Structure 1
Amino acid sequence: MRHQSPLKLSIIYICLGIVFTAFAIQSVTSSGWGFFAYFLILIATLDFGSGIRMLLLHIKIKSIQKKK
């Protein structure tokens, strides 16, 4: 299996964060703040955090490659 670049992974994670946020908004609109809405927000937060971390890793790798 081929490894994905951190940039591609960051885009995937950020898109998943957007999708889970949209699902959470829809859940809150239809049935209020329940367990499921909080769970979706938690998943979206983890995805956004992972996406930002992967983006920073990509930037760090590129800066190290430039120095060589």
Structure 2
Amino acid sequence: MRNSPLFMAALYFLLGCVFTRLAITNVTDTIWNFWTLLFAAMATIDFNLALRLILVKFTKKKQ
């Protein structure tokens, strides 16, 4: 059984929010440390995947 793209988009969006929160709480003096940049990059990838899945859902609906 496959999950719907909208459900997967919601999960990726939630993961993006979690990684954004981790990046914000990880900042001590400067944002230029490894873990903060890693969490921010992972959040960016998750938000990108969520938007792509939402677009896939609506383009499939039109066809």
**Which structure dedicates a bigger proportion of its chain to helix?**
1
Q: Which residue of 2 aligns with 1:63?
A: 62
TM-score by length of 2: 0.91
Q: How large is the Cα RMSD of the aligned pairs?
A: 1.0
Q: How far 1:55 sits from its partner (Å)?
A: 0.3
Q: How far 1:32 sits from its partner (Å)?
A: 3.4
Does residue 4 (structure 1) correspond to residue 17 (structure 2)? The answer is no
Unaligned runs of 5+ in 2: none
Identity across the alignment (%): 32
Unaligned runs of 5+ in 1: none
Which amino acid in structure 2 is aligned with residue 26 of structure 1?
Answer: T
Q: Which residue of 2 aligns with 1:32?
A: 30
Q: How far 1:31 sits from its partner (Å)?
A: 5.4
- Secondary structure of residue in 1 paired with 2:11: helix
Q: 4+ residue stretches of structure 1 with deviation over 3 A? A: none
User: How many aligned residue pairs are there?
Assistant: 62
